[in-house]
Chain A
Amino acid sequence: MRGFIIKLLTFLAGLFYFLEFILPAKIGRYNNPLTPYIQPVGEFLIVFWGFAIGVGALSLMVSHYRKIKLKRPGWAYSIVFFISMIAMMIAVYLNSTHPTPKARFMYELLFTHMYMPLGATIFSLLALFMASAAYRGMKIRTLEGAVMVLSAIIVMLGQVPIGLWLTHRLPAKAQLPRISAWILNVANTAAYRAVIFGIAVGAIAMAIRVWLSLEKEMEVK
């Protein structure tokens, strides 16, 4: 029974959005009857999403708690997780409900002076890894490889001012930014459009499977 209700709700929810989107705004003298409900259903979903975030946070806490309890490898990091999460929650709560200078200082310290540099540092490491990976991986072993390396070099240089500086004496059409723009706007667009078509067909098939509860993962045990 529980499984049937879930399947029915999934189907009705999908049907509502599908029909609302596909039916014209005006059907003869009448307006699309589903359109007035988009707003309340949307609000309900926003609240629902809020619960989903809460469930996510809860599940994360349970998983880290178990790690600490069973002293699994890396359990000390789970303690750091709890300290960071609780500290940040207190800081944000105090800063928004009692915005005193002390609360502001705590928020600034944790968010602006810790979270922001940490996030930026993690992302910055990509530059080092990408440089190393490009040096090791971009080898011309085949004709296709040569085309890939050549276009990558043109785009890498054409995307930054140094590409224009290196080729500014050449005729406009031979300048790296223009060749790079051609690669992105013509060759890349054609190839990516083919990829999008593939993804879209797959997404439609997947959506229909979810809508009709044909996915195995949707089975209620």
Chain B
Amino acid sequence: MRLLAKLQEIPYRVVYLLVLVAIVLPFVIELKLPVFVSNETLMAYNTIEQLPDTQIVIFVSSWDAGIKGELWPQTEALMRHLMQRGIKFAIMSQIAQGASFAEEIAERVAKLYNKKYGVDWCNWGFLTGDAAMIQALAKNIPKTVQKDFRGTPLTDIPMMQGIEDISDVSLIIDIDYGPRPEWISFVHGPYGTPIIFGCASIVSSTLFPYIDSGQLAGLLVGVRGATEYESLLGYRGMGHKLIIPQSLAHLLIVILVLLGNIGYLAARKLQ
């Protein structure tokens, strides 16, 4: 019993080491696990599958280095799908660093599908102003954005010809640590434009009510969402690489929680 009670006293350094091993191991030994496609990811996929190619998609990418592991694979998977389907999209960011990350991914994906900047996709860069900016954007895109990330006036970008307001936008995608509900309040509410969110796993529980209410047309949750989307598109990208270490880390945490509770119960019996 004393030995069991010791199970709740594993030093934190050992816990850190075990987490490190769980994360590094899949990069050394190749493991393959089955992928379950959740309803919210399938909804996002089906929404993009049904989009018309006559309008553009606004791709909000408001994440940076800290959350790259979860949101890079999501961004890549969604951009691949849009380019695969020949749907034009405009990147924008609500944080200063976001536009550069999205640009890097778009450039890589564009090479795969032979897509051109300005014709098939463009980057509006960092747009500040939150709710006020969103409202202004919905009413008049060229006036709100004015120039792209590279300093070109929006009026000189071929794919932006004839794009005036939100009625020329078929979908909003917001990839963010915690996507902003203002898109729902000020775009989906008044204009009915469908919205897909991509978020970090840790904040996902706050967004499920919007799926249930039909205000979100899809939701990608962390690396899991990206992996599921990659499966639907039929390729194994960064999501597939990262989900295995995450799986092992989750399993390790569950084992540690169980051991901690066995130790706790044993210690209580000893008292």
Question: A interface vs B, CB < 8 Å?
Answer: 17, 21, 35, 38-39, 41-43, 45-46, 49-50, 53, 96, 111, 115-120, 122-124, 127-128, 130-132, 134-136, 138-140, 149, 152-153, 156-157, 159-165, 168, 175, 177, 181, 184-185, 188-189, 192-193, 196
Contact = CB atoms under 8 A, between A and B. Distances in A.
A39 B257 contact: no
Given A162-B33, A164-B36, A38 B65 contact: no
A96 B257 CA distance: 50
Contacts of B206: 192
Given A120-B68, A162-B248, A49 B128 contact: yes
Interface size class of B (residues with CB under 8 A): 35 or more
A139 B264 contact: yes
Interface in B211-234: 211-212, 221-222, 224, 227
Interface string B1-37: 0000000101010011011100100000000011110
Given A138-B260, A164-B35, 11 more contacts: A42-B129, A42-B135, A45-B136, A49-B129, A115-B97, A123-B69, A138-B257, A139-B260, A161-B33, A181-B39, A189-B209
The majority secondary structure among interface residues of chain A is helix
20 contacts: A21-B190, A39-B139, A42-B129, A43-B144, A46-B136, A49-B130, A116-B68, A117-B65, A119-B65, A132-B12, A135-B253, A135-B256, A138-B261, A156-B254, A157-B251, A160-B250, A160-B251, A161-B33, A161-B247, A168-B34
B249 interface: yes
B61 to A, nearest CB: 15
A156 B221 CA distance: 13
Contacts of A156: 250, 253-254
> What is the predominant secondary structure among interface residues of chain B facing chain A?
helix
B135 A161 contact: no
A160 B100 CA distance: 29
Given A46-B133, A136-B260, A185 B246 contact: no
